[in-house]
Chain A
Amino acid sequence: MPRWLKHKALGRFFSLALAMAVVELVTGPPGSNETPTAGFSGSFGEKVSFFGLFPVPRIVQFLAFTVIIYFLISLWRSYGDRLRDGVRSLTERPRAVANKGSVRWGVAAALVVIGALLPRFVTDPFWQTAMVEQIAVYVLLALGLNVVVGFAGLLDLGFVAFYAVGAYATAWVTGALPLPPLFGVHLNPFFAIPIAIFLAMLAGVLLGTPTLRLRGDYLAIVTLGFGEIIFLFVDNLNGITGGSAGSGQVPHFSVDVGPLKYVWGLAPVPYYYLTLAFVILFVVAFSLLEHSRVGRSWTAIREDEVAAESLGINPLKYKVMAFSIGAASAGFAGVVTAAQTNFVNPSVFTIYFSINILVLVIFGGMGSIAGAVVGAVVIQTVSMYLIHTPPAGYQPQDLYIYLGALLIIMMIFRPSGLVPSKRRQREIGLAESGQGHMDEVLTGDVP
């Protein structure tokens, strides 16, 4: 390494400039087959407006950004601690109030009311659809994965499998698949809810029993494999799942009991209320679970599996339970998606989907139910906003660049997430300072 790079401040500036150059390259104009280098040179040389003042090549703008960011980082390094202490002392009172049990319940009740009234204020059909398909469903998935990753500390990279099981179970019992439904009866999707949840939980047990004997990295890789296996199954079993074409004949929910007749149509709002009801149900159920005997044994296993075992906790049993319980909400999310869109298709159930859900959980705060909800709402709203009103030059595939950057920043400044669970925040803090047992999920360390 050259000597001037070893100079800390210079080295930092250089690394930052390099990172900015990469950002510049990935956000620049695309090249083409005829002029393969155009994208590269365009990324740096294209004329852009310098803060709306005068045109300059992009590289100049980025260098200006580099200097500004470097300046901000330097300021943070010198005054950050003081700033943090100031903010902390200012927010001490409000935080103490917010931590009171009654206030927390009040906030939860207020959120439910806001959630219930939301469709009155959000009238744009794009956002109404997004609220169901892209936000509420993802909240359900994040809640489920939070049980696995947050409560039990198991890194599951194949969580999409349970979502797929829920969606395909719905298509199956409603008679939308080539595979004939049980007893030839085409059921209403309402009846698919318990069946799909049951099958997803069963899948959790079946996938969990062999894989959960492994820990850390090994578990992550095996779950990744199982996620892919499910994808390949539904993609290739033409006679059972309809193969890569899937099925477009999943019926909507409907109620037809005596005088009560109602059909959930293509309109998203009725689905929104149905999903909201189940989100509340899962939030309540998972909160109760967190503080139950089962929840405590998850905490014990996460903190020290050997100690937990020596106290009579069967780690495999409780880990499989976490897998299975987490799968329940994913299974229900599958029902909603299949019934609302009338459609199941294997192209959704990929590894990217699993990672996306994991990002929601980590962003919101592992082990925190509120975190899972907030993380899912915030990230999905941001990505929907980018699709709805894309900034200049934004392309859909750029989403993951921004989400990745967001996650990195989050990991540096607030590794325990937006709404951290207290215990998890301390565990991560300990792991960071090199004490105690490293957090498997964050470090991949296998004890």
Chain B
Amino acid sequence: MLEVSNAVVRYGAIEALHGVSFEVSAGEIVTLLGANGAGKTTTLRMLSGLHAPVAGTITFDGRDVTRTKAHQFTSLGISHVPEGRRIFPQMSVEENLEMGAFRRRGSISEDIDRMYETFPILKERRKQLGGNLSGGEQQMLAIARALMSHPRLLLLDEPSMGLAPMIVEAIFRIIGEIRDAGTTVFLVEQNAAQALRLADRGYVMENGRIVFTDTADKLLVDPRVRAVYLGEAV
């Protein structure tokens, strides 16, 4: 479904990604792990068109999307939940959801109802302003908003950031449900244990390179992963 090969991303003179390659197949949950500054967020920014690579290619469903602009991705079927949630603070929950369907024509009320089924808390808060929600509610709203465009691929940037363990649990359960409903998920996470328990496969990133990859089950027991990301002595 999504293929990235030898992508190089620069911030001015600094090369942040030195030729990154990976792929995501339809129906999978793939996670990208790595420490702070490894290049995870840069990878996602590249995938969502916010920062174009200077070399390498990105293809989505066999189509070259390397130079596609950020705002064109939703029409292709890729939806990005940005880091830090970035919901519209002065719009109500419902207005936020409506913005998620910006590129779609036709009635959206059914989709909104469906989101309220998946995230009942959002229904309770529908008239409240996005900025007044708790962190967990905001994260749910950000995911629901991204789903409003009917994506085939959902890009998630650190959905567990700054949230209580119970909330993280709930959000990861919902991410699993999203995949079961037919949306492929690419998940960038620092919370490696949680991410690997949910994902099918994983890539591990260090200093702008992908250093190894395997199925999630194997990564979960891999001593290198356990040492660095799961905080266990080797």
Contact = CB atoms under 8 A, between A and B. Distances in A.
Interface of A: 293, 296-297, 299-300, 303-304, 306-315, 423, 426-427, 430, 435-437
How many interface residues does chain B have, given as a range? 20 to 34
23 contacts: A293-B102, A296-B99, A299-B90, A299-B91, A303-B89, A303-B91, A304-B87, A306-B50, A306-B82, A306-B86, A308-B99, A310-B48, A310-B73, A310-B74, A310-B81, A310-B82, A311-B102, A311-B145, A312-B71, A312-B73, A312-B74, A313-B102, A423-B90
Contacts of A435: 89, 131
3 pairs of A and B residues whose beta carbons are closest in the complex: A312-B74, A312-B103, A307-B86
B99 A311 contact: yes
B75 interface: yes
In this complex, the member of A304, A308, A436 whose beta carbon has the largest number of chain B beta carbons within 10 angstroms is A304
A307 B72 CA distance: 13
B73 A430 contact: no
A430 B131 contact: yes
Nearest to A424: B90
B88 A309 contact: no
B139 to A, nearest CB: 13
B132 to A, nearest CB: 10
Contacts of B88: 299-300, 303-304, 307
Interface in B68-86: 69-75, 79-82, 86
B149 A311 contact: yes
B149 A312 contact: yes
B129 interface: yes
Nearest to A429: B90
A164 B95 CA distance: 38
A306 B2 CA distance: 22
Contacts of B86: 304, 306-307, 310
B50 A311 contact: no
B129 A426 contact: yes
A312 B75 contact: yes
Interface residues of chain B: helix, strand, loop or mixed (majority): mixed
Nearest to A297: B102
A311 to B, nearest CB: 5
Contacts of A296: 95, 98-99, 102
B89 A314 contact: no
Contact of B90 (A293, A297, A303): A303
Given A307-B87, A426-B90, A314 B69 contact: yes
B100 interface: yes
Contacts of B82: 306-307, 310
Contacts of A299: 88, 90-91
Contacts of A309: 50, 70-71
Contacts of B98: 296
Contacts of A315: 71
A310 B129 CA distance: 20
A311 B71 CA distance: 7
A446 to B, nearest CB: 16
A300 B50 contact: no
A301 B98 CA distance: 14
A309 B79 CA distance: 11
Contacts of B72: 312
Given A311-B100, A312-B72, 19 more contacts: A296-B102, A299-B88, A304-B86, A306-B86, A308-B99, A310-B48, A310-B82, A310-B86, A311-B146, A312-B73, A312-B74, A314-B71, A423-B90, A423-B91, A426-B129, A427-B90, A430-B89, A435-B89, A435-B131
B131 A436 contact: yes
A387 to B, nearest CB: 40
Given A300-B99, A312-B149, A436 B89 contact: yes
B17 to A, nearest CB: 19
Contacts of A436: 89, 131
A432 to B, nearest CB: 14
Contacts of B74: 310-312
Contacts of B129: 426
In this complex, the member of A296, A306, A426, A436 whose beta carbon has the largest number of chain B beta carbons within 10 angstroms is A306
B128 to A, nearest CB: 12
Contacts of A304: 86-89
Interface string B53-73: 000000000000000011111
Contacts of B87: 304, 307
A260 B226 CA distance: 89
Contacts of B131: 430, 435-436
A309 B71 CA distance: 5
Contacts of B81: 310
Contacts of B100: 311
B90 A310 contact: no
Contacts of A311: 74, 99-100, 102-103, 145-146, 149
Contacts of A300: 88, 91, 99, 102
Nearest to A304: B86
B91 A310 contact: no
A315 B131 CA distance: 22
A309 B74 CA distance: 9
A310 B69 CA distance: 10
Contacts of A293: 102
A307 B148 CA distance: 14
Interface in B98-115: 98-100, 102-103
A435 B138 CA distance: 15
